[in-house]
Each structure stands twice: as C-alpha cells, then as structure tokens.
Structure 1
C-alpha cells in the first residue's frame, strides 16, 4: 500500500471521531441493532424455557440437559473466535447478517431434531452463530458511533437486547402448554433474527473504519460525509480543520494494519492486551454465571420453597434491565476500568450479602443488587473490549477474549457444583463473588485506559511500529 494515502485515511478517521452527537442514521441503526440484539438473546435463552418440556417428552436426565447447555457454550466459544476473525477479513456487516442467518437456520433445525444427539449438535451450531453476532455487534457500535458516546450506546443496546428474554419467556408461556411437541415451536420463534437480518441487508452500512483499513476510502468517505451532513457539519467548518490539525500531530501514519496477521494478537503491547482481556472475561463469566445460573437451584437446596424461590427470581428478573440502563449513566462519565472495578467490588459485596444473609429481606436485597450491578458491569466491559484492539484485529481480539469467557462457562457448572458440595450455599456464592472481584482487579491493575480516546490512539501505532 502506498504510504502517501495514509494522511487521507487518518483525516477520515478523525472526522468520524469528531462527530458531536448521534445523527438520524445512527438512530436508525440503533433500532436495527437493538432488534438484532433482541433476537440474539431470545435464541440464547430459548433452551432454558424449552428444556422442561424436552426433558419430559424424551425422558432426559438433568445431566443431559446440562450437556445441552455446555454444548451451547462450546459453540459460543467457537463462534466468538470465528466470527471475530471473519469480521476482520470480510467485514462487520457481512458477518452480522451471515451469522444471524446461520443461527436462525440452526434454531429451525433444533425444531426438527428427532433425538437428543442431533439436538445437541444443532444447539452447538446455534451457539456458534449467536456469539459471532454478539461479538461483532459490539465492535460495530464501537467503530460507528460518536467517540464520547460509545459506552452509553453499548449499554443501551444491551438493555434493549435483554427484552429478548421476556419475549422468549412469553412465547414459552403461550406455546409449551399446547402439547407434548409444542416446544419445537419455541425454536421456530427463536429464529426471529431472520427479520432484522433481512432489513440489515438493505439498511446497515459497512463499518467505515473497516472500509478504511481495506483501502476503500471512497466508500468510507460517503458514509462519513452523510453523518456529517446529518450532524450539521460541512467539510470547511471548524470540525474538519481541527481534524486536520490532529492528523498533522500524528506521529506515525497508518501503515496498513489491514494486513496484520492473527499472530499480531500475541506480539508487543497487543499480547498484553489479549492476555488481560481474556483473563477479565474468564473471571467475569465465572462470576456472572456462577451467581445468576445457580440462584434458583441453590435457593431450593437451601430450604426455600419453590413458591418463595419463584417469587425471589421474579423480583430479580427486573434487575438486568435496570442494570444495563444504569450503564448509560456511568460508562462514558469516568474511566471504564475504574468504573468496572467499583462495579465488580460492589457486585461481590452484594453477592456476599446474598450468600450469608440470615433474613429473607437481606437475601432478596443482596441478590437484586448483585443482578443489577453485574449487568451494569457487563455493559462497561462490552464498551471496553473493542476499544483496546487495532481495527484490523478488533473482531478477532474482542472475539478471543469473549471466547475464553464462554469456554470458562462450559466448566462453570461443574466448578460451582463442586464448591457447593464442599462448602455449601454460602461457599458457592462467595466463590462467585471472588471471581467477579478478580475481574475488576485484573482490569484495573493491568488494563489500558480507554474512555474518551480515539480508537486509533490505542492500538494502530503499535502495529505501525512493528511494520516500520
């Protein structure tokens, strides 16, 4: 690539970074991305609501249902890795649409599955597609929305996506009682992602940043110019002159991170970033699912009645939405790694209260706060992950970190069950609290500062130095 084109590319990136607010196009994309997130969460959670009917019809054991869940996590691990790398090579838009079609097709195959073994295979494939979509969606938001609102938008999209849970729960309430095989229609409903995927084919543009590292400046410039017009900016206004000054101060031009090999994730500063983000997501998933996935089961084991447990978990179900929306208030206000540490420590304290509380109101209060704060922390981490990798490796890097977390999810059930067998109810949840506290400490101690920084400032110079 001719190095003389680099300043033009950097100018376009600077123009994109300096958009002052979301525009009409951004708001249109938010509706579409929100719909994709809803479909994603619906498919991710469909097995939880279909499993009792499947177990009853096929005579499955609890362990076999656990195997289906583990296969879903294994698929998510593969999807996080594959989806991220494919998005770096072929584009964010293509992978979002393609992976949505993929998991929707897999969900339809689940509806037709004749036996347990094939259902497991299809759930693995569904998990692969779901996580590929999630990972690339958070990258797309980081790259295409105004620099100082990325965290707020990520949190809002996560909050909207969580509507997929009551959506699929409501579908289960209507469909499952209709007959022995009516659970199959649950997987048909979970393929609803086909609708926003079809709309995205026509309405969702490619990421301008990805186009730039592919030497497709003309296409990127058309997208950026449209956003500028909608924001009331003209090419000769102060915003572009200021962008030109930023480019002039750039120490090293962009020298083609589009050709960065996957191995670059494990070299130089990027190796540290890859290691830190992977550890962060492993601890986060162990803590998040170590608490949320075990609350109903272990409350019953602790002696609470099924009715009381159902009431408690119904109260907790309100918290994820509030938690994700709370992320819109804090994600961009302070440094993300500091916010994450505070949220992780607060979550750990709330889980501790839930674990050792002797009175019902303390258990409910601790559990509700833990559920809320864990979701707020997830929104902050979703903002953080795409910000610390280079554009050409952003999908692969964020995907690898997410994938390592999902891989940890496959052993979470065995791990928490083993702790419970030895240390009981309090020990199991205190272990989850410890995991989430470790996540906050690792990120705060070893992670980069990202809030308010241009994406190119965090990583592109590193790749340029390696190529110099």
Structure 2
C-alpha cells in the first residue's frame, strides 16, 4: 500500500512540520507522553525537597551542623546547574529522548546512594548525582513538550510541568515526608524517605522507553523518515506501536540538499539570540532567587514570629496551595495570553504582595493570605518562564539555550538564600521582602528587552529564534500562526 501524501512537497519544509503538528492536535499519545514526563518531574521535586525534610533528623542522629546540611542543598543546586548545561549540550547533539532517560537514571542512582550512605561524604556524593539528574530532567522535559506540541497547545503542555513540580510537588513534599516518617520511625527514617523515591522513579524510567524522539529534533537533523514515523505515532494515539498506512507529513529534501542543521552553541550568546539570553537570564535569576529564598527561610521566619516548628510546617503547606494555583493559572494563561503581558503583570503583583507580606503581616490570617498570594505570583512567573524559554531559540540550540537560562536560575537559587538570610538577620522580615520586591522590579524591567513569542511557530523565518523582530506584536504573531485572537 502506497504512502499517502498529505502536504505538497513544494511547501516550505518547516511549514510542513508546523502544519502537521497543527493538524494532529492533541491525541492520547500526547497525553501519555505528558503523564510519563510529569510523574518523573513530581518525584524530582520530592527529591529536591528531601534535604529540608531530613535535615532535622540528620542533625539529631548524625550530629550534622546547620552549615553541613546547608551545603548538601547548595551542592544539589550547583550540580543541577551543571546537569542542565550538560544535558542541554548533549540533547542538542544526540537527542532529547536519550538525555531524558539518562537524567532519570542518574536521579534514581543518586537517591539509592543517599539511602545507603554510611557517612557524610557518601551522602554528599549521592546528592551531587541527584542534582545533576534533577537539573537535566527539568530542562529536557520543558524542551521536549515544547517540541511535541503545536504553537496552540505548547503553552498548556509546558505549563503542566510546573503544575506537577513547583505546584503539586512542593505542596505534597512535606506531606510525603510526614507520611514516610510515620510509617518508618526511628533513626533510619531518613533513609526510607530516599529509598521510597527510588522504586516509583524506576517504574517511570521503565515506561519512558515508549516516548519517541521529538519530530522537530529529527527534522532538524535531516532524519525526515523518522520524523514522519513519530508524527504518525502522535496521530495514532498509540505509543510504542507502528501505525498502519503511514502518512507522509513531511517531504524529503531534494537530493543533495538534505543535511542536518549544525549545532553552534555560541549562537545563544551572540547576535539576535544574545539579547534574549541576557534579558530572560536576568529575569529568571530574580524569580528563582526569590522563590528558593522564601522556601528555605519561611519556617525560620515563622518561628521568629513565635510559631512552633510543627505549626510553621503546616503554615508552609497552606501557603504552597498558592503555588499550585499559580502553576495551573500559568498553564491556562499560556493558552490565552501573550507571554510578556503575563510575566510583567505577575512581576508587578509580586512586588506589591511582597511588600504587603513584609510590612502588613501582623496576624495569622494575613500571614497565610499574603504568603499564599506571594507563592501564587512566584509559580505563575516561574511556570510562564518555563513556557517562554524554549520558544526563544531554534531547534538546533533550543535544549542548550533553555538549559542555560534555567541553569542561571538554579545558581541564583543556590546563592540567594545566603544573601536573603543575612538581610533577614539584619533588617527583619520587612527588609527581606523589600529585597524580594526590588528583585521583581528588576524582573519586569529586564523583560522589556525580550521578544514576544505567543502564537508564533518556534522554527522558520517567522520564529523568534530565527531573528524575527523582538517587538511585542502578539496579534501579528497569532495571525501568522493561524490562531484565533482568543487563542
């Protein structure tokens, strides 16, 4: 049976790919890929929170100092930054699917080493391996979902990663820790927490082998037949099975013109891409630094206001409900509104609410209300950055460009709690949240130098990553992408 040709070979070939993804829409295959990626991200966030959860136990049973526990957290975030850069480099050369599996394997191995650690050095080594896998997992997940989906749905899909991670994951992590400690009390309860993260991650790794390579990556490497095969898998709704009667969504290039795009990572730092790398890099440093500082110091802040440790944990969980709502809202806004509008308004709101928390939180209801509202803004912004970052770069450097931006945020998350802690010690809660407000003001200013990407194809002459105008023209972008004004 001959292959059915659905697009004319005379169409620009990148437009063929955009048209194919638009025509396929969202199928059960997309939903299965999304679920497998989200489960891995959820366990990653649990592992990311693990040091904070086991810290008091390590202090009690191993006699670790606060500095030693803090170093484990800094080591994890530092390794995550390295993992993001390394994964981005490898993914742009050898494929997204390869690194997605490697990252989760590293995470699982690191968690197992932590569970079996016999001394501090072994525990630190395990956390470094965990961090490397964590960093790569998130950046590759963001890139893959952006490339599997059409311009109409990619904002929702990428935003869902932080719904599972920053929203649901950060909210459930303390509850997960309490449940593990309740079932496995005693001096080894912290080992059980690490161990309980190994088995589910292993099963996710097992089933992820059904996730195909992204059609955009295959197409950028000149592997048109494989890209057609993946598009047919997406259209069929069945992962891991060859669809019968395959369609030729993409035509082969004329003989002699068939070549892979060269990967030049320096593109991210020169020419038209450099401006957006700097602008969004500054913005992500501000919001990641603020988020990790608040997550790290919130129990200390609450205890300084006279609340017990257990009550401060409960308050933190309540405030994290704002994180979940913020991530969900960002995912919805990713479908409806221009990126820069969401990010700018969210940054202004974070400024105002941060100042309110710092200077007006004089009662329990106000602490919870302002705390939840601040976390809402933080996750709205962080999730929107995740949606935005992969849209800034062409496929040939997308994984590395996205990884570099997120790695900057990770480094800021490692460094800023130290600065925020000193500000809190010297100037109190008002000084600390005043600094957070200033950081979000810098965030909003930096974004004025970045382009709008909403509704635009992420490859081709009209794509932001290919030197299109950095002007904020969402209406034109939507028209070019064939989306309705409301989309």
Q: TM-score range by the shorter chain?
A: 0.7 to 0.9
Aligned counterparts, 1:428-467, within 5 A: 428-443=432-447, 445-456=448-459, 457-459=462-464, 461-462=466-467
Task: Report the TM-score when normalising by structure 1.
Answer: 0.88
Deviation string 1:232-271 (CA, Å, 9 cap, x unpaired) is xx9999xx8xx99xxxxxxxxx996731321121221011
Deviation string 1:171-197 (CA, Å, 9 cap, x unpaired) is 432433522122112111222322111
> Is 1:184 paired with 2:163?
no
For residues 126 and 420 of structure 1, the distance between their equivalents in structure 2, rounded to whole angstroms, comes to 30
Give the aligned CA root-mean-square deviation in angstroms.
Answer: 2.7
* Contact 2:339–2:452, Cα closer than 8 Å, also in 1: yes
* Contact 1:353–1:363, Cα closer than 8 Å, also in 2: no
CA 1:384–1:229 in structure 2 vs 1: closer, same or farther (change >3 Å)? same
CA 1:358–1:264 in structure 2 vs 1: closer, same or farther (change >3 Å)? closer
For residues 465 and 427 of structure 2, the distance between their equivalents in structure 1, rounded to whole angstroms, comes to 48
* Contact 2:288–2:382, Cα closer than 8 Å, also in 1: no
Deviation string 1:387-426 (CA, Å, 9 cap, x unpaired) is 0011011111111111111111221122112212332211
Aligned counterparts, 1:19-418, within 5 A: 19=23, 21-161=25-165, 162-165=167-170, 168-176=173-181, 177-191=184-198, 192-201=200-209, 203-228=210-235, 258-306=261-309, 308-360=311-363, 361-418=365-422
* Contact 1:288–1:436, Cα closer than 8 Å, also in 2: no
Deviation string 1:24-64 (CA, Å, 9 cap, x unpaired) is 21112122122121122122112221221112111011111
CA 1:331–1:46 in structure 2 vs 1: closer, same or farther (change >3 Å)? same
* Contact 1:15–1:224, Cα closer than 8 Å, also in 2: no
* Contact 2:326–2:379, Cα closer than 8 Å, also in 1: yes
Deviation string 1:306-329 (CA, Å, 9 cap, x unpaired) is 465344223213222222111232
For residues 224 and 303 of structure 1, the distance between their equivalents in structure 2, rounded to whole angstroms, comes to 58
For residues 358 and 148 of structure 1, the distance between their equivalents in structure 2, rounded to whole angstroms, comes to 41
For residues 337 and 173 of structure 2, the distance between their equivalents in structure 1, rounded to whole angstroms, comes to 35
Deviation string 1:199-253 (CA, Å, 9 cap, x unpaired) is 011x20101000011110001012223444669xx9999xx8xx99xxxxxxxxx
For residues 390 and 164 of structure 2, the distance between their equivalents in structure 1, rounded to whole angstroms, comes to 20
SS of 2:230's partner is: helix
CA 1:325–1:137 in structure 2 vs 1: closer, same or farther (change >3 Å)? same
Higher RCO (C-alpha under 8 Å, 6+ residues apart): 1
CA 1:114–1:354 in structure 2 vs 1: closer, same or farther (change >3 Å)? same
Aligned to 1:466: none
> Which of the two has greater helix per residue?
1
Task: Report the TM-score when normalising by structure 2.
Answer: 0.84
For residues 324 and 172 of structure 1, the distance between their equivalents in structure 2, rounded to whole angstroms, comes to 22
SS of 1:317's partner is: helix
For residues 270 and 259 of structure 1, the distance between their equivalents in structure 2, rounded to whole angstroms, comes to 16
For residues 64 and 449 of structure 1, the distance between their equivalents in structure 2, rounded to whole angstroms, comes to 43
Deviation string 1:299-353 (CA, Å, 9 cap, x unpaired) is 2223344465344223213222222111232122111011111111112211211
Q: Gaps (5+ residues) in structure 2?
A: 1-8, 239-244, 252-256, 469-487
* Contact 1:354–1:364, Cα closer than 8 Å, also in 2: no
CA 1:172–1:95 in structure 2 vs 1: closer, same or farther (change >3 Å)? same
Q: CA deviation at 1:427?
A: 0.2
- Greater mean deviation of Cα atoms: 33-42 or 132-141: 33-42
* Contact 2:89–2:399, Cα closer than 8 Å, also in 1: yes
For residues 458 and 25 of structure 1, the distance between their equivalents in structure 2, rounded to whole angstroms, comes to 26
